Amino acid sequence: MLRNPALLAIAVTCLMATSPAEARGLSVSIVRTAHGIPHIRATNWQGIGYGVGYAYGQDNLCLIAEEFATIAGERSLHFGAKAGAVLGFEPVDNLSSDLFFRSAINLPALRKSWRKAGKPERQLFTGYVAGHNRLLRDLGAAGVPVACRGKPWVRPITLDDLLRLNEKQMLLAGSLNFAPAVANAAPPLQQTAVAASIALPDPHDTGIGSNGWAFGAETTANGRGLVVGNPHFPWFGPARFWQMHVTIPGIIDAMGVGIAGTPLPTLGFNQHIAWTHTVTAARHFTLHALQLDPQDPTAYLVDGKRHAMLRRTISVPMADGAAPITRTLYSSRFGQLLAAPATGLGWSGTSAYALKEANAGNQRGIGTWIKIARARSTADIRMAVESSLGIPWVNTIAADAQGNALLADVTAVPNVSAAKVAACATPLSQRLALRLTLLDGSRSACDWETVRGTPVAGLMPARDQAVFESRDYLANSNDSYWLTTPKAPAKALSPILGAAETERTLRTRSGLIEIGRRLAGTDGLPGTRLDHANAKAMAFANKSLAAELTLAPLLALCATDATLAPACAALVGWDGRFNNDSRGAYLFHAYWEKTQQLPGLWATPFSLADPVNTPRDFITSGEQGVKLRALLAEAVARLAKEGIALDARWGDVQTAPRGAERIAIHGADGPLGVLNVQRSIPVPGGLMPVHGSSYVQVVGFDDAGPVADAVLSYSQSTDPASPWYADQTRAYSAKRWHRLPFTAAQIAADSPGPVLELKE
């Protein structure tokens, strides 16, 4: 008899979560190599899902268990309504999170749509559920990691949990970041102080990012394709990457990473192709300004016809037996109502705003990634991406063994042309244009355009989005498609795909400059082509373009002010990089944080004729010089207050805690023009990275197949008791890459552990 209540609860829920039919015939083999990378081998898709669900839980059970509570709208119940967490890439209180998920996720519709999904997708999810639940049974209550042992939110899961999780991931870089504005939207007489204070986040400042480079035969040392991928993603939470290798003989053999709940690699390589992703500049939602019925703020007019808003009462369970909190939330034909009064998007008696999301209900993504993982060429990848429009919010950047390179900025994006954006603008649209697309909701003609051939009505067809194929190189660092290949900038497309013919970020420019130097042989590295060695050196060079453009004139300026002599001395000794041994880097970091916000920094403005090298020529004369000296003095005072020496080693300032250990972390924030991004928060004694370089890979090909070097900066497991909790973080700190084992012989030579055979 089971006398432990927690264990009994797990056992009972397991029986409810997985039917005998689902559990029958499951079989998988798992062997882990260096750094805990699981190689998961099965005879069918269900077995792969089974193995991934089990192995992921071994490394990150507490993380994913909390995530299942989040998407079920149970954070208030388990963690308290006023507490908070990061939802997507933005902090949010638990009550707002619960209200959003309970209102935004249409579970009946997801179930109905899922029944139409392909067999591989359905089997992967069914297997994942069974694998997660098998792990819980194998662990028992006493075997759950200490961090979440005995917690009621550690529970078996059902297919519904994965459907919710998939939906959240589709919304990750879109409407998910507006959750508080949706959760707290209410008609005028029902508004609260919380709702009145909400402002929309800036989609361009959510921290998400990445660098993705694809090199073709004309630029690589061996004439084959080569991919450099450096996604900048959170170091904490469910958007952390996790490494895996999945194999069904004759069907799929792919290695790479996915985030929590992903049943196969969504970024990685196989025998023939390698691919990475960067967050696209395209917008995956629109806002619609509603004209309200003067007599009823919960009704709106379209083409003069009155429509009542749909009302839905949401009940959120509370902790400690407290009564549930209920709210009535509203939606329109254009989606859920939101309110962000601090941004000018309040709900008044005459107007309101609705959010329409292109990725709502997008269950095509998993099928698309299955096709990518099985692709034999970049042409196969292009076909998969264009036909499904299932990639939610990232560019797809790839190269193949034949030396072809591809960049497809093709996602689930609203079909809104430049002409429609202009014709459907409201008085507020222009003010918000840099952040979002606001359309007139009082006219049906301002809704998304429907054309034939798209899997979902209202999505922009692939032919109107941006696709580049090359034997040279293609690059993206989260700016728009426009300067993907500087030799031939793209023509301007709809503004919903991002800005064209505009100034690029310092990080984008830095990447293009460094690639240009590599191909010209002026970067100090051997040769004029790309190979693994110089690609890895470029990825972790940690150069600062901001320093390259401004340090010399700054030193000349500060040399004229005796009070700044110690700062000048520290900066003279700085190598202009953010390596662990770079001294004086933190002083420049503190100085540039404020300096970049000054207007009129450059004497030579942005030029379409030279977009990679403009703007430039740092202005230090006159009033600008006075401001710059003051900002440098402020930076000196800041470091003194923090107790950090002006010439401190960067690796002594920016560190990742792993237990009592503090691991030096190289790289720095993107606005410094550093490619190897690490966005950090202040902590006593320095900085702690929270977002940035994650799974960094350099993948090329030889006659035998893929040759992949990689490192996962924050390591494979979030469990401090795991041997894979800090090992790759130390490797990242030392710029020590791991040659990934792909073939049976390579796996056998890479310190494999015992084979785990699971069946049921």
For the segment 202-232, what is each residue's pLDDT rounded down to a tens digit?
655 555 679 999 999 999 999 999 999 999 9
CA distance 260 to 241: 7
pLDDT of 14 higher than 50: no
pLDDT at 12: 32
Spatial CB neighbours of 681, under 8 Å, sequence gap ≥ 6: 687, 688, 690
For residues 712-726, give the mean pLDDT: 98
Q: What percent of the chain has pLDDT over 70?
A: 94
Q: What are the residue ranges of helices labelled H in 171-289?
A: 179-183, 193-196
| Count of other CB atoms within 10 angstroms of residue 549 | 20
What SS3 class is residue 540?
coil
Spatial CB neighbours of 660, under 8 Å, sequence gap ≥ 6: none
pLDDT at 198: 66
pLDDT at 195: 61
CA distance 180 to 174: 13
CA distance 61 to 148: 8
Going by their DSSP bridges, the two strands 738-739 and 27-32 should be labelled as unpaired
pLDDT at 207: 56
For residues 636-655, give the mean pLDDT: 98
Residue 218 Cα distances to 38, 199, 405, 477, 486, angstroms: 35, 48, 10, 22, 16
For residues 700-713, give the mean pLDDT: 98
| Long-range residue pairs from 426-435, CB within 8 A, at least 24 positions apart, any chain | 426/289, 428/289, 428/344, 428/345, 431/344, 432/287, 432/343, 432/344, 433/495, 434/204, 435/200, 435/202, 435/203, 435/204
CA distance 605 to 479: 18
Q: What percent of the chain has pLDDT over 90?
A: 90
For residues 600-622, give the mean pLDDT: 97
For residues 309-324, give the mean pLDDT: 96
Spatial CB neighbours of 339, under 8 Å, sequence gap ≥ 6: 181, 184, 185, 186, 191, 195, 198, 345, 346, 347, 352, 353
Per-residue pLDDT band for 91 (boundaries 50, 70, 90) equals confident
pLDDT at 190: 76
Residues in the chain: 760
pLDDT at 60: 98
Are residues 692 and 678 in contact, defined by beta-carbon separation less than 8 angstroms? yes
DSSP characters for 64-111? HHHHHHHHTT-HHHHH-SS-EEEETTEEEEHHHHHHHHHHH--HHHHH
CA distance 366 to 265: 10
Strand positions, DSSP E, 479-597: none
Per-residue pLDDT band for 668 (boundaries 50, 70, 90) equals very high
Are residues 589 and 567 in contact, defined by beta-carbon separation less than 8 angstroms? no
pLDDT at 86: 80
Are residues 284 and 392 in contact, defined by beta-carbon separation less than 8 angstroms? yes
CA distance 145 to 312: 38
pTM as predicted = 0.95
Instruction: Name the amino acid, one letter, at 684.
Output: P
For residues 705-720, give the mean pLDDT: 98
- 471: closest CA among 171, 183, 672, 215? 215
Instruction: Name the amino acid, one letter, at 573.
Output: G
| Count of other CB atoms within 10 angstroms of residue 728 | 25
Backbone angles phi, psi at 84, to 5 degrees: -150, 175
For residues 711-720, give the mean pLDDT: 98
Residue 726 Cα distances to 222, 236, 434, 540, 723, angstroms: 35, 14, 40, 19, 7
For residues 7-16, give the mean pLDDT: 35
Question: Which residue do the tokens 């619960």 mark?
Answer: 98
Are residues 208 and 232 in contact, defined by beta-carbon separation less than 8 angstroms? yes
pLDDT at 309: 98
pLDDT of 6 higher than 50: no
CA distance 659 to 669: 25
Encode pLDDT of 371-416 as tens digits. 999 999 999 999 999 999 999 999 999 999 999 999 999 999 999 9
Per-residue pLDDT band for 61 (boundaries 50, 70, 90) equals very high
Are residues 144 and 399 in contact, defined by beta-carbon separation less than 8 angstroms? no
Instruction: Name the amino acid, one letter, at 226.
Output: L
Residue 15 Cα distances to 6, 148, 157, 514, angstroms: 15, 22, 11, 57
H or E element at residue 431: helix 429-432
Residue 299 Cα distances to 293, 328, 331, 720, angstroms: 6, 15, 10, 53
Residue 297 Cα distances to 49, 130, 192, 330, 462, angstroms: 48, 47, 16, 11, 38
pLDDT of 543 higher than 80: yes
Instruction: Name the amino acid, one letter, at 472.
Output: D
Q: What is the 8-class DSSP label of residue 581? A: T
Strand partners, 210: 231
Per-residue pLDDT band for 698 (boundaries 50, 70, 90) equals very high
pLDDT at 194: 62
pLDDT of 329 higher than 70: yes
CA distance 544 to 564: 22
For residues 560-573, give the mean pLDDT: 95
Spatial CB neighbours of 99, under 8 Å, sequence gap ≥ 6: 73, 182, 183, 184, 314, 316, 327, 329
CA distance 358 to 457: 10
pLDDT at 8: 32
For residues 731-749, give the mean pLDDT: 98
Q: What is the 8-class DSSP label of residue 486? A: T
Name the residues annotated as catalytic: 210
Q: Which domains does the chain have, with CATH numbers?
A: 285-357+417-446 (2.30.120.10), 545-674 (1.10.1400.10)
Per-residue pLDDT band for 589 (boundaries 50, 70, 90) equals very high
pLDDT at 3: 35
pLDDT at 554: 97
pLDDT of 719 higher than 70: yes
| Mean pLDDT over each residue of the chain, to the nearest integer | 94
Instruction: Name the amino acid, one letter, at 527.
Output: G
What SS3 class is residue 325?
strand
CA distance 72 to 437: 30
pLDDT of 512 higher than 70: yes
Higher pLDDT among residues 559 and 757, named by residue: 757
Strand positions, DSSP E, 528-672: 602-604, 616-618, 655-658, 661-664
Per-residue pLDDT band for 199 (boundaries 50, 70, 90) equals low
pLDDT of 56 higher than 90: yes
Encode pLDDT of 441-452 as tens digits. 999 999 999 999
Query: Before 615, cis peptide (omega within 30)?
Result: yes
For residues 188-205, give the mean pLDDT: 65
Six token digits for residue 132:
């997660």
For residues 415-440, give the mean pLDDT: 96
- 690: closest CA among 82, 260, 86? 86
Instruction: Name the amino acid, one letter, at 708.
Output: A
Instruction: Name the amino acid, one letter, at 572.
Output: V
pLDDT of 760 higher than 70: yes
Question: Which residue do the tokens 């404020």 mark?
Answer: 594
- 481: closest CA among 281, 615, 285, 278? 281
Spatial CB neighbours of 212, under 8 Å, sequence gap ≥ 6: 227, 228, 229, 230, 231, 276, 277, 278, 395, 397, 407, 475, 476, 477
DSSP characters for 30-50? EEE-GGG-EEEE-SSHHHHHH
